[in-house]
Amino acid sequence: MEQQAGKYKDLLVRIISALVMLPVAVSALWFGGWALALLLIIGGYLMLVEWFGLVKVKLGKATKAGSAAISLGLVLYWYVPENLIGGLFFFCGMGFLTAGAVRTTDFTRSLKWIVLGVVYVALPLLSIAYIRDAAGFTWVMWLFLVVWATDVGGYFAGRTIGGPKLMPKISPKKTWAGLLGGMTLSVIVTWIMMQWAWLTPIPLFPWAALLLPVWAQVGDMLESALKRHYDIKDSGSIIPGHGGILDRVDGLVFVAPVVALMFGQHYQYVM
């Protein structure tokens, strides 16, 4: 009975946190421009700091200074074309982190995780900015809704149906039912947006709605594997009931670059 009450309490905390974060994220996506830029800067900074904590790379003060500079540099470089200041911030940030890595006992390992972390954060940041600028609010909102639908559908299908585990050694709570639930809800959300949000289909669009949740799960599993390898439960504790930023955007990190690539190949369909 106490275990059941604990589950409901955990769900309530997750819902409250989502209700607080959702208007902020949607508002930034709606207004775009510097409102979205600010969200990406803060999000990128938190993601990088959590990444270094996750992979146990201790760079001291250089971690936060470098992460802030890199995140700011990436967004400035995107929103102000041909702006050298953005590139300067980015390379200064890399300099901070490299200097911190030099002081560690394992420079090669630290530098490897720094580069991987920057790529891991940079690709989704730039992809989201590109989709919002190139295709508008509706398309970038579809991207987020597909990822959220994957999480929500997976959570409730996994809890209510259960059944065989997806990859028990990596993520014991993930089930095949949860994966199918996420795929189903993603397709439903996409169909609704096509009917009422004037979402013009692009080639392979129906398959994208079905397969992007699978790719999101790959991102989720990768982060779960890292956490299990380093014996860490959550990437952070900034979001009550959810853990860290990386815990919430692991699927988005993988899906956003793929969707940006889709638009790059079929730009004429979304304009």
Lowest mean pLDDT among 26-30, 98-102, 242-246: 242-246
Q: Is residue 187 packed enough to be buried (19+ CB in 10 Å), middle (13-18) or exposed (0-12)? A: middle
Instruction: Over range 162-188, report the average pLDDT.
Output: 87
Lowest mean pLDDT among 3-12, 108-117, 176-185: 3-12
Residues 6+ apart with CB under 8 A from 54: 223, 226, 227, 230, 232, 235, 246
Report whether 251 contacts 121 (CB < 8 A): no
Lowest mean pLDDT among 14-23, 43-52, 170-179: 14-23
Say what angle helices 33-54 and 245-265 make with each other, to 10 degrees: 120
The pLDDT tens digits for 108-157 are: 999 999 999 999 999 999 999 999 988 889 889 999 999 999 988 888 88
In the DSSP assignment, the letter for residue 173 is E
Report whether 166 contacts 178 (CB < 8 A): yes
- Strand segments, DSSP code E, in 38-177 are 165-167, 171-175
Instruction: Over range 155-182, report the average pLDDT.
Output: 85
What's the pLDDT score for residue 1?
A: 46
Lowest mean pLDDT among 1-10, 62-71, 259-268: 1-10
State the Cα–Cα distance between residues 185 and 148, nearest whole angstrom: 9
Task: Please report which confidence band the pLDDT of residue 175 belongs to, taking 50, 70 and 90 as the band edges.
Answer: confident
What's the pLDDT score for residue 4?
A: 47
